[in-house]
Chain A
């Protein structure tokens, strides 16, 4: 073999892979897999997304691997036909009666196997990506990428049906898998094309990635990969603002928010129009939504034109109360002396700043809420002769935005061929399932209460014990016995809504076609 490299070495003999149970929580693959950022190691920093690198980094696939895949795809499709109908209800008796989840790590192969086998909503995932109950290219030409438990990263996997995907997942036991775009050819056949430019991504959901590590300079409760319910409020605000803009301004309807398993959330905008957008349009949306700009050294990060764009005005309306409560009261970002300087730097009037500094220095430990009120109070007393009330108001608006407006990992949204972690996979570090977030009761979403894979498996066991005599028990699918139920149901209704719209469009187009004269 002329070149050998991390990914393909593994691919060569992937049948033999023994997932290692001791991979501490966090497989980050070979650097180039970082695109989706969030779910990396605790020590890795979040913003190492490297879409650029990845784009250039089409992994070679070895010849034997190509055939390997073909075999696994096509050799036994019929034997699985029946299971396709009810993948989740594969009789529980065949499995170990107790999985004993609690004392095992989430990345333990037995735990993962049981999860993928019994709980993962394969059928809805399929329908979600396929937009129709019968297999189409929307699913068949879709790229999946697996991160194996030894950190190898397999790109360009594709599957004609959900069942074959499930089979391969169970065989390879990836610690997570990602979803990429639909290509114009089957990704597995890309090497057979005459030239490499003929292999093109056609469509993908518009995605957003928000990560709490990007809030490290303004959150005081946690940092790095840690989160609590206090700083999760930043995420709540972010979701509200982005969701409103996508729905009201851009007219998108099918938006799913997913908890990313540790410290962030992803959005999947699944409208047909959104999926078909090219990079330029994705960039346009990203730019429209991006307000906080600048790096560590750029000082004031929000600099907006006046009058404010209606989108900003609306966002400010949404964020105002959060700013008072979740930022000023709870985070108390300017409590200490050095932190209060950060606030003063953002205010325009030097004289006023001096007065404020004197006042605050004489009362150490004064809370941010009072400090924020002091600004207007002192301004009113005429602390500064040259005070420009309008500039002050605008600076205050900018500050509110700097401390509340969503901080997007914007690269994820700009590129059609960016990969993003699939919903419902397990975060290997926390064991939490990447569940959809219900935007209707967004405020009630508690990331720390999201079920872990271990707790779910225990729930299955517990359920069996208590309700086995019930004759209808065999009809109940495993996920229905657990805390995953509301999330799967939510996902299901989302998918049904999406498929319905998609069907309507198709019917309409067929009608249009008939009327055309060829």
Chain B
């Protein structure tokens, strides 16, 4: 597809040393120089570093990556992420441009280089870790590239030697209108296509641009303006890293290593936990009757997404597949047992026959609970309830579907109607929701509604010190919304029953 061989040392083949002999040959390494701020990490580091450096550098980079991942989970825009990350990057992983007068440049780049490769070792072991590592490393690379000086970026891209075919003047004139349409729509600039260099690549190399219809396509070739090289470079980076990680994984078992590094590496990969690991503690809040017939009563505690699903279900006596999936998982998360859940769906789908229900829906519910399905599914107890992140980004609802996040997937009018039906009529709140929606801060909108609906209880909880500030931070999971809502609305009951244990289990 591409010249992916840039990762493969060409020299190796040319030298034609028998690999069996080469193993014992003295390594002939070239010292690494870092002419650019960005690095494709094609050549591994070769110089010696101390064990302390090894660990410290890796931990520093890991801090940055973990925070980057957290930004992605919170749906931050690139600009916000960059702003958020700046102090961290400056502290842990500074990397300055060629133009800067800093004397630390080489040292910074060396640290960046080494820490990347250390983490590569730590995260190559499982596919899951590899994927996550590649994703955050790509995010880091993308962020750095965006902040790069233009000239330096161009020089860097040039140095990669990616083979891109220039579009000839003749062709450019011929396709003037088409090129103008993509260029103006995407980049908002008024540059005429003649005044710009375009290159022509196989569309597979710029899937991101294709997916968003940002480039003109013809006969399998994408026409990319030089300004938009970034996407291509990033794709190359990801592809390259994926392959390299795969190679590392294969080499790991043969890693001839003493006991100094392995514990560090294991420790590193264990500490790379997902902030979005899902809603770990399932189970009902104390005192709640979680049963099929009580769902209607409990639904006042549901966030808008689930409230909407519940209403749609009651209205149509039916939900489409993803709606059922999202809702079943949520119900499972609030502590509804499988048997009760089956009862709930059976009674809710009152328009279908028993036979149809058993054939078409029963299995799915059981599957979600891990009652049937492959080994992995059963062992894992089925799927985890969807987080806001997942609901917001995966499977946007299509025609006739009720799942998704209302703050994102409803238009303003319908959203307002829904909120009013949930008892939100305060103008300033609705206005706030509107602004949040426009800024794509769907979490904020949801939390705003939560705070409004529970304002009295939150105040009381704070005053009485029932819940700490940490327990009242932003909600990023529908099940957390439910749990918190339920606890807040039942403060009295709580206190009577067990005033002391609230703190422990409310987290």
Contact = CB atoms under 8 A, between A and B. Distances in A.
Interface string A12-47: 000000000000000011111010000001011101
A251 B360 contact: no
A296 B218 contact: no
A29 to B, nearest CB: 8
Interface residues of A, number: 67
Contacts of A5: 372-373
Nearest to A59: B374
A297 B372 CA distance: 33
A292 B399 contact: yes
Interface in A149-179: 151
B374 A309 contact: no
Interface stretch (A232-240, A280-288, A348-356): A280-288
B363 A31 contact: yes
A17 B320 CA distance: 32
A48 B409 CA distance: 19
A375 to B, nearest CB: 21
B367 interface: yes
A151 B362 CA distance: 14
B352 to A, nearest CB: 7
B219 interface: yes
Interface in A204-240: 214, 216-217
B399 A6 contact: no
Contact of B409 (A249, A292, A297): A297
B367 A53 contact: yes
B321 A283 contact: no
Nearest to B209: A284
Given A249-B217, A307-B180, A48 B207 contact: no
Contacts of A281: 204, 207
A446 interface: no
Interface string B334-365: 00000000000000000010001001111110
Report which residue of A252, A286, A288, A299 has the largest number of chain B beta carbons within 10 angstroms of its beta carbon: A288
A248 interface: yes
B185 A216 contact: no
A3 interface: yes
A194 interface: no
A311 to B, nearest CB: 7
A495 to B, nearest CB: 22
B363 A58 contact: no
Interface in A436-475: none
Contacts of B377: 56-57
B293 interface: no
A151 B359 CA distance: 8
A418 to B, nearest CB: 14
Contacts of A305: 185-186
A47 B402 contact: no
A501 interface: no
Nearest to A312: B213
A277 B202 CA distance: 13
B409 A58 contact: no
Given A56-B377, A297-B409, A298-B411, A197 B203 contact: no
A58 B218 CA distance: 39
Contacts of B213: 287-288, 309, 311-312
A266 interface: no
Report which residue of A6, A48, A284, A295 has the largest number of chain B beta carbons within 10 angstroms of its beta carbon: A295
A433 B465 CA distance: 70
Binding site of B, secondary structure by majority: helix, strand, loop or mixed? Answer: helix
Given A197-B127, A248-B218, A32 B204 contact: no
A57 B401 contact: no
Given A60-B374, A249-B218, A30 B400 contact: no
B367 A295 contact: no
A366 to B, nearest CB: 25
A360 to B, nearest CB: 21
Contact of A307 (B185, B218, B397): B185
A47 B400 contact: yes
A216 B399 CA distance: 9
A384 interface: no
Contact of A41 (B325, B356, B372, B376): B356
A298 B397 contact: yes
A310 interface: yes
A310 B182 contact: yes
B399 A57 contact: no
Interface in B67-113: none
A250 B203 contact: yes
Given A295-B403, A295-B404, A308 B185 contact: yes
B155 interface: no
A30 B363 contact: yes
Interface string B354-391: 00100111111001100011111110000100000000
Nearest to A44: B360
Given A52-B325, A249-B217, A311-B217, A295 B211 contact: no
Interface string B462-498: 0000000000000000000000000000000000000
A258 B208 CA distance: 29
Interface in A273-329: 273, 277, 280-281, 283-288, 292-301, 305-313
Contact of A31 (B208, B361, B418): B361
A213 to B, nearest CB: 8
B212 to A, nearest CB: 7
B211 A301 contact: no
A49 B397 CA distance: 13
Contacts of B374: 56-60
Contact of A50 (B207, B321, B409, B418): B321
Interface in B210-247: 210-213, 216-221
A32 B372 CA distance: 11
A31 B184 CA distance: 46
Given A31-B362, A300-B411, A47 B320 contact: yes
A421 interface: no
Contact of B212 (A56, A214, A287, A313): A287
Contacts of B210: 284-285, 287-288
B403 to A, nearest CB: 7
B12 to A, nearest CB: 15
B324 to A, nearest CB: 9
Given A309-B182, A309-B213, A248 B367 contact: no
A313 B216 CA distance: 12
Given A53-B364, A308-B181, A298 B410 contact: yes
Given A47-B321, A48-B321, A288-B211, A214 B364 contact: no
A283 B399 contact: no
A50 B398 contact: no
Given A48-B320, A307-B180, A299 B400 contact: no
A105 interface: no
A153 B339 CA distance: 24
26 contacts: A6-B372, A29-B359, A30-B359, A31-B364, A34-B360, A41-B356, A45-B318, A45-B400, A47-B400, A47-B401, A49-B321, A50-B325, A56-B376, A57-B374, A217-B399, A249-B218, A249-B219, A277-B204, A284-B210, A292-B398, A294-B397, A296-B400, A297-B402, A298-B410, A310-B217, A410-B398
Top 6 nearest A-B pairs by Cβ distance?
A295-B397, A251-B220, A299-B411, A287-B211, A284-B207, A31-B363
Given A57-B374, A252-B220, 19 more contacts: A5-B373, A31-B364, A34-B360, A43-B352, A47-B401, A50-B321, A56-B376, A151-B359, A249-B217, A277-B204, A280-B207, A281-B204, A283-B207, A284-B203, A284-B207, A295-B399, A297-B410, A297-B415, A310-B182
Interface of B: 127, 177-178, 180-182, 184-186, 203-204, 207-208, 210-213, 216-221, 308, 312, 318, 320-321, 325, 352, 356, 359-364, 367-368, 372-378, 383, 395-404, 406, 409-411, 413-415, 418
Interface of A: 3, 5-6, 28-32, 34, 41, 43-45, 47-50, 52-53, 56-60, 151, 196-197, 214, 216-217, 248-252, 273, 277, 280-281, 283-288, 292-301, 305-313, 407, 410-411
